[in-house]
């Protein structure tokens, strides 16, 4: 029989979509005030993979990804998603979001995103939040899954960099316990 153990800490990430850089800067301040410093920010990319958000957020959206410095327990993702939804609502104007904040985490073997929408590949985490394994890490690289979002896949190099930082942080944690 397996023994119940606390989960390994994970590296939090956010996928961010926005039009107005000032809104993103305020959201960034909130993220850092609540969850600690951001340690890596991707390049800013034109979001061209889908028009899904245009009706609500407008055209010419910008995508970026960030990772947070402090490692966290994976079960905190539920709170992180609920807080992101609250912030999105607070930034909204006339019922339209001005920013999309998608929290997730990177573990040793996968990248997990939080969602409020259920689907076949998602599992219920609690309090209205689902988790989805978006990419799997194996044999030195991420593997695309049938439901992997194209923009995450196209920028997997960012997540490989985040994973290297994460691996170093895990080594430091282990060395500190020894």
* H helix runs in 7-93, sequence order: 21-35, 54-57, 77-91
Tally of CB atoms within 10 A around 115: 17
C-alpha to C-alpha distances, 22 to 34, 45, 94, 163, nearest whole angstrom: 19, 16, 18, 29
The helix/strand/coil state of 51 is coil
* Domain ranges, residue 142: 10-171
The answer to whether the CB of 162 falls within 8 A of the CB of 40 is yes
What is the CATH number for 143? 3.30.70
- Tell me, yes or no, whether 45 lies in a domain: yes
Res 176: pLDDT: 76
- Tell me, yes or no, whether 178 lies in a domain: no
What is the number of domains present in the chain? 1
Alpha-carbon distance 165 to 13, whole Å? 12
- Tell me, yes or no, whether 5 lies in a domain: no
- Tell me, yes or no, whether 23 lies in a domain: yes
Res 136: pLDDT: 98
- Tell me, yes or no, whether 60 lies in a domain: yes
The answer to whether the CB of 159 falls within 8 A of the CB of 152 is yes
Residue-by-residue pLDDT tens, the chain, 178 positions: 999 999 999 999 999 999 999 999 999 999 999 999 999 999 999 999 999 999 999 999 999 999 999 999 999 999 999 999 999 999 999 999 999 999 999 999 999 999 999 999 999 999 999 999 999 999 999 999 999 999 999 999 999 999 999 999 999 998 876 5
- Tell me, yes or no, whether 176 lies in a domain: no
- Tell me, yes or no, whether 1 lies in a domain: no
pLDDT tens digits, 70-81:
999 999 999 999
Buried b (16+ CB within 10 A) or exposed e, 136-159: ebeeeebeebeebbebbbebbebb
* Helix, strand, coil abundance in the chain, percent, nearest 5: 35, 35, 30
- Please give the model's pTM, rounded to 2 decimal places: 0.95
Alpha-carbon distance 79 to 75, whole Å? 8
- Tell me, yes or no, whether 157 lies in a domain: yes
Res 174: pLDDT: 87
């Amino acid at each position: 029989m397996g023994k119940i153990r606390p989960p390994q800490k994970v590296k939090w990430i956010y996928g961010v979509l926005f039009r107005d850089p000032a809104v993103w800067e305020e959201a960034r301040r909130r993220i850092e005030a609540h969850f600690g410093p951001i340690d890596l920010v991707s390049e800013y990319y034109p979001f061209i993979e889908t028009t899904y958000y245009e009706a609500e957020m407008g055209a010419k959206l910008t995508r970026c990804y960030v990772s947070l410095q402090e490692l966290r327990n994976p079960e905190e993702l539920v709170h992180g998603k609920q807080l992101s939804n609250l912030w999105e609502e607070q930034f909204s104007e006339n019922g339209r979001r001005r920013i999309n904040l998608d929290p997730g985490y990177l573990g040793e073997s996968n990248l997990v995103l939080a969602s409020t929408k259920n689907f076949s590949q998602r599992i219920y985490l609690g309090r209205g939040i689902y988790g989805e394994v978006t990419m799997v890490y194996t044999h030195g690289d991420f593997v695309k899954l049938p439901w992997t979002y194209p923009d995450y896949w196209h920028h997997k190099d960012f997540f490989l960099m985040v994973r290297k930082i994460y691996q170093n942080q895990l080594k430091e944690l282990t060395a500190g316990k020894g």
